[in-house]
Structure 1
């Protein structure tokens, strides 16, 4: 069963006749999977890409190798780039990109420890949101917390879209 924040978010996206797509690195498709479990999934979910490896980000999403090398695959800049690539591939109203560090061995630093997650949400022609947060816990807990946060952030963003 999908988390309550994803269920609420899906209903709101459907109510607004919007379509969503995902580019996921650290969450490895789990976010799209959560949306697929909602009763509105057929109305809102266009698809997703798991781009865990840097070469997948480059080859499928067209992210420049220089950007990945300069900023690291798990960075705000690369997360923005993967979210920005989705509308061309899916024709979506909402594009969500997620990267981050759920385990040691990536690009973690003192300023970017394990648990750091980057979320970028792009609603072409209307709104854009960048979010960075450090979550505590084991990899599965970090991913679950990230998914709940995405649901909350998306809900806020779609509500603002409604108001405009």
Structure 2
């Protein structure tokens, strides 16, 4: 089903944090950000634009600031040959399905959910249901090209389409699409049989891994340098993590790596701070301090300039379990600082997955 996220109003556009909030809420409901349209204000062409969009999309979720809401509500009522009435101090079409500051109008070929949004308040509820003709799953331990080759027979058998996106080396996000839910489910069951514990449902491997830690009450801590606390920030975005997370150490300078994590100055000299050896002692240091079940450590160059003969984007990551087993890797990443940091975080959590795959089996 084709669906559109439509944002109208300067107030919403200018507030990046609130706009990101809208994106998160929308993606949680519809599982993806498919198509996005942004318009700064209402104009005389808006009624004609909405009529055009209603012919293209089956569902439109329209977020409007308070200045634009009344005009758009009036347009929708007119297009539906309906009357505006006052409900809970908000003007809504009489025939619309309504919740506070949110309503759905049902047109012949399209439904539109209009929300009145205030950047100082919680988003109103997103209303209306659509059939999602796709599902996401992730494969690890196999490259994207090989995965598509192995899945081709199943794809033909169940008459589905599949797309792949490489997240990291040997970590691939897959999307399966079909107009029939039973074919998607049959395909996914066969994928599980084919790949076993190397497959898990959903599009976010970080959420999957963290939820497994929550399920098994396994505590985790981090020793971060170039990622500046992104591991901890990612973890605390998920409700309930206080059960498995007490804290971590962000040691950006060599001085604090030495004083807080106990890494000897000889290890930290020169390019030693960007090395597997440094990451190993970061892991040992955070284990001594926090005593978790799992520890992750990251050190490298997230900027765009080489240092100490180490290329920009070179990031060393490590994962260690309480039994002393550990894995380390060097990631060679390209992009801006934020992209490299996020990829390093994903790589570190994924390394934990590779260290103890039996803990994270689907």
Aligning the two structures, in what range does the TM-score lie when normalised by the shorter sequence?
0.7 to 0.9
Matched, 1:79 2:302: no
Query: Among residues 241, 245, 269, which one is paired with 1:41 in the alignment?
Result: 241
Matched, 1:127 2:325: yes
Contact 1:10 1:40 in 2 (8 A): no
Correspondence for 1:102: 302
Q: Cα distance, 1:141 vs. partner? A: 0.8
Matched, 1:153 2:351: yes
Correspondence for 1:8: 208
Query: Among residues 253, 260, 263, which one is paired with 1:63 in the alignment?
Result: 263
* Cα shift readout 1:79-131 (whole Å, capped 9, x = no counterpart): 1101111121111111111001012566342xx31001111111021521111
Q: Cα distance, 1:30 vs. partner? A: 1.0
More strand per residue: 1 or 2?
Answer: 2
Q: Cα distance, 1:133 vs. partner? A: 1.0
Take 1:116 and 1:34, find their aligned partners in 2: how far apart are those partners? 21
**Larger Cα-atom Rg:** 2
Name structure 1 gaps, 5 residues minimum: none
Task: Say which is worse superposed, 63-72 or 154-163, in terms of deviation.
Answer: 154-163
- Supply the RMSD in Å over aligned alpha carbons: 2.1
Name structure 2 gaps, 5 residues minimum: 1-23, 25-202
Contact 2:298 2:348 in 1 (8 A): no
Take 2:308 and 2:233, find their aligned partners in 1: how far apart are those partners? 27
Take 2:356 and 2:232, find their aligned partners in 1: how far apart are those partners? 17
Contact 1:23 1:98 in 2 (8 A): yes
TM-score by length of 1: 0.88
Q: Higher relative contact order by CA 8 Å / sep ≥ 6: 1 or 2?
A: 1
